[in-house]
Amino acid sequence: MLDQSYYRKTDEIIEHYGRKAASLIPIMQDIQAEYRYLPGELLTYVASEIGVTEAKAFSVATFYENFSFEPKGKYIIKVCDGTACHVRKSMPVKEALMKELGLTHKKHTTDDMMFTVETVSCLGACGLAPTLTVNDEVHPKMTPEKAVELLEELRGEKA
């Protein structure tokens, strides 16, 4: 059960975009921006408030890779696997990160809620391939070694 504050915040967001079916995506985006994920309870709540069925809202939320029902880590690392990054060996970078963090293809977030590792299709920085972003900050020309160093740096920041 979510705290009442979640629903109050969601009400604010709904008011901002208006109680109509067309507001569904911007509302979900704002909720996700607020909590770093889209709590399922809030999706159900939003659906009933703006008059779409729960199944339809779920359909939209699962269609877009961007929405996540799982809480994400403090640092969201998006490894680009667009064509340019892929041929410049982006996958070994991702695998190095996953190995270092103990993640799998089903498990994207570390237990301490520090890191989430995802693949994205193209970050539009093909000249800097292979590239990744940490909370929207771009890191160019990555290698598996540089990726592990980056993790250590971020962990250091935590300490």
Partner 1 sequence: MGTMTIDGRKVEFTDEKNVLTVIRKAGINIPTLCYHSEVSTFGACRLCTVEDDRGRTFASCSEEPRDGMVIYTNSGRIKKYRKLIVELLLAAHCRDCTTCIKSGECILQELAHRLGVRDIRFENTREIHEIDTSSPSLVRDPNKCILCGDCVRACEELQGIGALGFAYRGTEAMVMPAFNKKIAETDCVNCGQCRVFCPTGAISIKNHMDEAWEALADPNVRVVAQIAPAVRVAVGDHYGQPKGRSVMGKIVNALHRMGFDEVYDTTFSADLTIMEESAEFLKRIEKGENLPLLTSCCPAWVKFVTDQYKDFIPNISTCRSPQQMMSAVIKEYFREPEHAQGKKTVMVSIMPCTAKKAEAIRPNSFTKGEQDTDIVITTTELIRMIDNFGLDFASLDPEACDMPFGFGSGGGVIFGVTGGVTEAVLRRLTDDHSKEAMREISECGVRGEEGIKEFSVPYKGMDVKICVVSGLANARKVMDRVKNGEAEYHLIEVMACRRGCIMGGGQPTRAGDRTKAARAKGLYNADNTMIIKKSDENPLVIELYDTLLKGKEHELLHNEFY
**Site for partner 1, rule CB under 8 A:** 40, 43-44, 47, 53-59, 62-63
Give whichever of 43 and 84 is closer to partner 1, judged by the CB atom: 43
Q: In what order do the strands lie in the sheet with 75-80?
A: 115-120, 75-80, 132-134, 137-139
Give whichever of 59 and 83 is closer to partner 1, judged by the CB atom: 59
In the complex, least distance from residue 143 CB atom to partner 1, rounded to whole angstroms: 31
Q: Which residues have C-beta within 8 Å of that of residue 17, sequence separation ≥ 6?
A: 23, 26, 27, 30
Full DSSP string of 40-89: HHHHHHHHHHHT--HHHHHHHHHHSTT--SSPPPSEEEEEE-SHHHHHTT
Burial class of residue 138 (count of CB atoms within 10 Å of its CB; 0-12, 13-18, 19+): middle
Give whichever of 57 and 142 is closer to partner 1, judged by the CB atom: 57
Give whichever of 40 and 144 is closer to partner 1, judged by the CB atom: 40
In the complex, least distance from residue 68 CB atom to partner 1, rounded to whole angstroms: 13
